[in-house]
Chain A
Amino acid sequence: MPLLAMRLAAPSILVDLQHVPNLSDIEDRGDHIRIGARVTHREIERSALLADRLPILSAAASHIAHPQIRSRGTFGGSTAHADPSGEWPTILLALSATMQAVGPHGNRTIEADDFFVGPFTSTLRDDEILTHVSIPTTRTAWSFQEAAVKKGDYGLALIAATGTPRGGVLVDPRVTVGAAVGSVTRLVAVERILTDEPLTDELAEEAAVAAAESVKPISDIHGSSDYRRKLVASLVRRAVVELKNGA
Chain B
Amino acid sequence: MKKLDSHQHMTTPVIAARSVGTRVLRSEDPRLLSGRGEFIADINLPGQLHVAFVRSPVAHARIIHMDLSAIRDADGVALAWSGQDVAPLCEGLVGEMAVEGCFPTTMPLLAKDEVLYVGEPIAVVVADSRYAAEDACELIDWDFEELPAVTNADAALAGGPVANPQLSDNLGLKGGASFGNVSEAFEQADQVVQGRFYTCRVSAAPMETRGVIADYEWASKGLRLWSNTQMPHYLKYMLTAYLGFPEQGVEVITPDTGGGFGQKAHVYPEEMLLPLLAREVGRPVKWIEDRRENLIAGAHAHEQFVDIAYALDADGKITGVRTDALGDGGAYHMPPWSMAVEPWCAVVMTPTGIYDIPAAEYTYSAVATNKTPVGAYRGVGYMAGTLARECLADDAARALGMSPFEFRRHNVVRDFPWTNAQDIVYQEGSWLETINVLEKMVDYPAFLQRQSELREQGRYIGLGLSVFVESSGESTATSQEHGLGDVYHDTATVRLNPNGTANVTIGLSAQGQGLATTMAQMAADTLGINVEHVSVQTARSTSHAYGSGTIGSRGAVVAGGAVARAADVVREKVRLVAANMLEASVDDIQLTDGLASVKGVADASVSIADVATSIYFDTSSWPEDFEPSLEATQAYDPAQAMFSNGGHAILVELDPETGFVRFEKVYSVEDCGTVINPNIVEGQIRGGVLQGIGASVFEELAYDESGQILTTTFLDYGLPTMDVAPPFEIHHLETPSSHSASGVKGMGESGLIAAPAAVLNAVNDALTPFNVVLRDLPLTPQRVLKAMSGELSTAQQEATSTQGETGHA
Among B210-218, B527-535, B720-728, the stretch that binds chain A is B720-728
| Interface check B716, CB cutoff 8 A | yes
The digit string for A209-223, where 1 denotes a CB below 8 A from any CB of B, is 000000000000111
Cross-chain contact of B718 among A2, A6, A153, A223 (Cβ < 8 A): A153
B720 A6 Cβ-Cβ under 8 A: no
Given contacts A221-B710, A221-B716, A231-B658, contact A150 B724 (CB under 8 A): yes
B120-160 CB mask vs A (1 if < 8 Å, else 0) is 00000000000000100010000000000000000000000
In the complex with contacts A221-B711, A234-B657, A152-B785 CB distance below 8 A: no
* Contact across chains for B711 and A150 when beta carbons are under 8 A apart: no
A-B contacts besides A223-B781, A230-B785, 15 pairs, CB < 8 Å: A2-B713, A6-B292, A6-B713, A7-B134, A149-B660, A149-B718, A150-B723, A150-B724, A151-B721, A152-B721, A152-B723, A154-B715, A221-B710, A224-B782, A227-B659
Which of A6, A149, A156, A231 gathers the greatest number of chain B CB atoms within 10 Å? A149
Within residues 750 to 802 of chain B, which ones have a CB less than 8 A from any CB in chain A? 780-782, 785-786
Contact partners of B702 in chain A: CB under 8 A: 221
A239 to B394, CA, bound (A): 39
Nearest CB of B to A169, in Å:
26
- In the bound assembly, the distance between CA atoms of A79 and B782 in angstroms comes to 29
Please, how many angstroms separate the alpha-carbon atoms of A147 and B716 in the complex?
16
The A contact surface, by secondary structure, is loop
The complex places the Cα of A116 from the Cα of B464 at a distance, in Å, of 46
The digit string for B494-506, where 1 denotes a CB below 8 A from any CB of A, is 0000000000000
Chain A interface residues toward B at CB < 8 A: 2, 6-7, 147, 149-154, 156, 221-224, 227, 230-231, 234
Q: Does B698 contact A (CB under 8 A)?
A: yes
Q: Which of B698, B713, B716 contacts A150 (CB 8 A)?
A: B698
Complex formed: what's the CA distance from A154 to B292 in Å? 19
Q: State in angstroms the CA–CA spacing of A87 and B640 once bound together.
A: 58
Residues of B with C-beta under 8 A to A227: 659, 781-782, 785-786
Residues of B within 8 A of A152 (CB): 721, 723
CA distance A163 to B724 in the complex (A): 34
Where the two chains meet, the residues of B that have a C-beta atom closer than 8 Å to any C-beta of A are 134, 138, 292, 657-660, 698, 702, 710-711, 713, 715-716, 718, 720-721, 723-724, 780-782, 785-786
Closest to A226 in B: B782
Q: A154 CA to B134 CA in the complex, in Å?
A: 29
Q: Answer whether A147 and B782 are a contact pair too, CB < 8 Å, given A154-B715, A221-B710.
A: no
Complex CA–CA separation, A154 to B713 (angstroms): 13
Bound-state Cα–Cα, A199 to B698, Å: 37
User: Top 8 nearest A-B pairs by Cβ distance?
Assistant: A151-B723, A234-B657, A227-B782, A221-B702, A147-B658, A223-B782, A221-B710, A150-B724
Q: For residue B660, which residues in chain A have a CB less than 8 angstroms away from its CB?
A: 147, 149
Q: How far is the CA of A152 from the CA of B134 in the complex (A)?
A: 30
* Set of chain A residues within 8 Å of B718, measured between Cβ atoms: 149-150, 153
Using Cβ atoms and an 8 Å threshold, which residues of chain A touch B659?
Answer: 227
* Nearest CB of B to A65, in Å: 10
What chain A residues lie within 8 Å of B716 (beta carbons)?
221-222
Which residues of A have CB within 8 Å of B721?
150-152
- Within 8 Å CB of B713, what residues of A? 2, 6
Instruction: Please give the distance in Å from A154's CB to the nearest CB on chain B.
Output: 7
- A151's nearest neighbour on chain B, judged by CB, is B723
Shortest B763–chain A CB gap in Å is: 15
Cβ distance A19 to chain B, nearest Cβ, rounded Å: 25
Q: How far is the CA of A147 from the CA of B720 in the complex (A)?
A: 16
Q: Which residue of A lies closest to B721 (CB)?
A: A150
Complex: A191 Cα to B724 Cα, angstroms: 35
- Indicate whether A149 sits within 8 Å of B698 (C-beta atoms), given known contacts A6-B292, A223-B781, A234-B657: yes
Smallest CB–CB gap between A229 and chain B, Å? 11
The docked-state distance in angstroms from the alpha carbon of A152 to that of B714 is 12
CB distance from B722 to the nearest CB of A (A): 9
- Bound complex: CA of A224 vs CA of B783, how far in Å? 10
- Residues in A with CB closer than 8 Å to B715 are 154
A246 to B716, CA, bound (A): 35
Q: Output the least CB separation between B796 and chain A (Å).
A: 22
A234–B723 contact, CB under 8 A? no
When chains A and B are docked, how far (Å) is the Cα of A109 from the Cα of B781?
41
Residue among B698, B721, B781 with the most chain A CB within 10 A?
B781
A199 to chain B, nearest CB (A): 19
Bound complex: CA of A2 vs CA of B714, how far in Å? Answer: 12
Chain B residues lying within 8 Å of A156, measured Cβ to Cβ, are 658, 781
Tell me the complex Cα distance, A153–B697, Å. 15
- Please report the C-alpha to C-alpha distance between residue A153 and residue B658 in the assembled complex, in whole angstroms: 15
In the assembled complex, which residues on chain A have CB atoms less than 8 Å from the CB atom of B786? Answer: 227
Inter-chain CA distance A9–B658, complex, in Å, is 34
Could you say which residues of chain A place their CB within 8 Å of the CB of B724?
150-151
In the assembled complex, how far is the CB of residue B330 from the closest CB belonging to chain A, in whole angstroms? 19
Of all chain B residues, the one with the shortest Cβ separation from A153 is B718
Q: Are A149 and B292 in contact (CB under 8 A)?
A: no
Contacting pair B134 A150 (CB below 8 A) = no
Residues of B within 8 A of A223 (CB): 780-782
B555 to chain A, nearest CB (A): 31
Q: Which residues of B contact A231 (CB under 8 A)?
A: 657-658
6 intermolecular pairs with C-beta atoms under 8 Å apart: A147-B660, A149-B660, A150-B698, A154-B715, A222-B716, A223-B780
CA distance A223 to B778 in the complex (A): 13
A7 to B659, alpha carbons, bound, how many Å?
Answer: 35
Taking CB atoms, residues of chain B closer than 8 Å to A149 are: 660, 698, 718, 781
Alpha-carbon distance between A187 and B323 when the two chains are bound, in angstroms: 52
A221-B710, A221-B711 given; A150·B785 CB < 8 A: no
CA distance A222 to B782 in the complex (A): 8
CA distance A243 to B123 in the complex (A): 58
B371 to chain A, nearest CB (A): 15
B-chain residues with CB within 8 Å of residue A147 when the two chains form the complex: 658, 660
Once the chains bind, are A150 and B658 in contact (CB under 8 Å)? Answer: no
What's the Cα separation between A230 and B781 when bound, in Å?
Answer: 11
Give the chain A neighbours of B134 by CB distance below 8 A. 7
- Alpha-carbon distance A52/B257, docked complex (angstroms): 47
Chain B residues near A151: list those with CB within 8 A: 721, 723-724
Contacts of A6 in B (CB 8 A): 292, 713
CA distance A234 to B723 in the complex (A): 23
Minimum CB–CB distance from B750 to chain A (whole Å) comes to 25
Q: Which of B134, B658, B724 has the most CB of A within 10 A?
A: B658
